[in-house]
Amino acid sequence: MLASIVCLILHLGITYVSAIKGKQVILLAGQSNMSGRGGVQNNTWDGIVPLQSRPNPSVFRLAANLTWVEARDPLHKDIDVNVTCGLGPGMAFANRVLKKNPGLGPLGLVPCAVGGPHGTKISEWGRGSFLYKQLLRRARVARRGGGSIRGVLWYQGESDTVNVLDAKKYKRRLVNLFQNLRADLGSPLLPIIEVAIASGQGSYIENVRRAQLGVKLARVSCVDGKGLPLLADKLHLSTLAQVRLGRMLADAFLKLESMAAITNNTSSP
């Protein structure tokens, strides 16, 4: 009996290691709505996890200590450490992707978003900044052992709605970020799905939204968050809104994957 239990444990361990070595990596970056505030009230998370965001044995998370662990919300609890994190879009995204295309698994989610108590401007994500270098470092670690970076989910911009100069410079800074990230990861056509903000901290929300919706780069898709339900603070997405967003991001990602497959088949001799 004991020998059988030991064999089972060893088998599960080998299966786990094999799974994380062959993972398809998705980077999650931006600020608070990407790191997740769904279900957070008075600095306390209610712990409610809808079915669409439940843990999945084929979904892993790169923890802050750079080890792979089971993915479960709050995904950013050890990354966005100066606030209380709740439900974000990551798990709903991963579960829908695997439901629609099980062959893409296992998925490795790499949380990199930082909102903090005051948010993060896109200028804080410029090449050479702490946040950018952390994103690159975590992405490169995630690739070790045969991991393949398949996409980036980006949700940020609420902090850039306060100052008119930040809003005016947003599009150029966003394009630079995407191009720099692709160059530094050696993936010129890395799929990126950005979110057009649903809210903001200032008066220039529409300016930033126009910048986000106006990005014209190959294999960059924009999901519009406008109208998604917000918490009482009128800034952060509710739990159900995060689930909806995750599914929207998944559909956009799968569409990019499908388009790439068609292009590759067409160009094949």
Enzyme catalytic residues: 32, 233, 236
Q: How many CA atoms lie within 13 A of 253 on its CB side?
A: 33
Alpha-carbon distance values, 211 to 19, 84, 100, 156, 160 (Å): 39, 29, 31, 12, 11
Helix (H) or strand (E) holding 265: helix 239-267
Measured CA to CA, the distance from residue 254 to residue 258 in angstroms comes to 6
* SS3 at position 222: strand
Q: What is the DSSP string of 69-131?
A: EE--SSTTTTTSTTS---B-SHHHHHHHHHHH-GGGPSEEEEE----TTT---GGGGSTTSHH
The residue whose two tokens read 């712990």 is 47
Q: Are 48 and 63 in contact (CB under 8 A)?
A: no
Q: Are 54 and 179 in contact (CB under 8 A)?
A: no
Measured CA to CA, the distance from residue 259 to residue 114 in angstroms comes to 31
